[in-house]
């Protein structure tokens, strides 16, 4: 199991976003378990594909909320999402072309990045959106 799992300390007090963070963490854990269990590359590749798609979906959902409520730090936040998006897309490409191996360490890295992003960047927009009635 991953060394980080979602709990209340990660809550941004917006139900939809908390659910997405939980789902994303569960998907990372699924990938981690699949690697540990020695599942074939094709299976890992499929989970990774879903993970990349879900990250995009989640980042878009957050960005839509920020735009809708004119969050002043949208630009910075969007940049952080882009960095991660590019990182996993680049990784996915390398993995598919056989230039990189999918290891538990890679998944731990993604998990730590997400955890830190939630704790710092997401927790920063949370009170702003909560104050505008978004829960
Ligand atoms: Fe998030
Ligand atoms: Fe975010």
Question: In the CATH scheme, what is the homologous superfamily, with its name and number, of domain 13-130?
Answer: Hemerythrin-like (1.20.120.50)
More confident residue, 3 or 78: 78
The full set of domain ranges for the chain reads 13-130
| pLDDT tens by residue, 18-59 | 999 999 999 999 999 999 999 998 999 999 999 999 999 999
Q: Which residues have beta carbons under 5 A from ligand 1 (an ion)?
A: 122
Task: Using pLDDT thresholds of 50, 70 and 90, give the confidence band for residue 3.
Answer: confident
Q: How far apart are CA 121 and CA 54, in angstroms?
A: 19
Distance 52 CA to ligand 2 centre (A): 15
More confident residue, 55 or 5: 55
Report pLDDT for 120.
98
Mean pLDDT value across the chain: 95
Question: Any idea which residue has 């798609």 for tokens?
Answer: 53
Distance 100 CA to ligand 2 centre (A): 26
Ligand nearest the Cα atom of residue 18:
1
Distance 25 CA to ligand 1 centre (A): 11
31 and 107 in contact (C-beta within 8 Å)? yes
Q: How far apart are CA 22 and CA 125, in angstroms?
A: 18
């Amino acid at each position: 199991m991953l060394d980080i799992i979602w709990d209340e300390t990660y809550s941004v007090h917006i139900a939809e976003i908390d659910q997405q963070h939980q789902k994303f963490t569960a998907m990372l854990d699924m990938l981690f378990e699949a690697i540990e269990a020695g599942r074939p590359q094709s299976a890992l590749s499929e989970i990774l594909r879903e993970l990349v798609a879900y990250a995009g979906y989640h980042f878009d959902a957050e960005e839509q909320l920020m735009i809708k409520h004119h969050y002043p730090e949208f630009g910075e936040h969007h940049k952080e999402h882009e960095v991660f998006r590019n990182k996993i897309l680049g990784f996915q490409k390398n993995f598919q072309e056989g230039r990189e191996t999918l290891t538990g360490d890679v998944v731990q890295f993604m998990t730590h990045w997400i955890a830190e992003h939630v704790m710092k960047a997401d927790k920063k927009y949370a009170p702003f959106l909560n104050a505008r009635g978004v829960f």
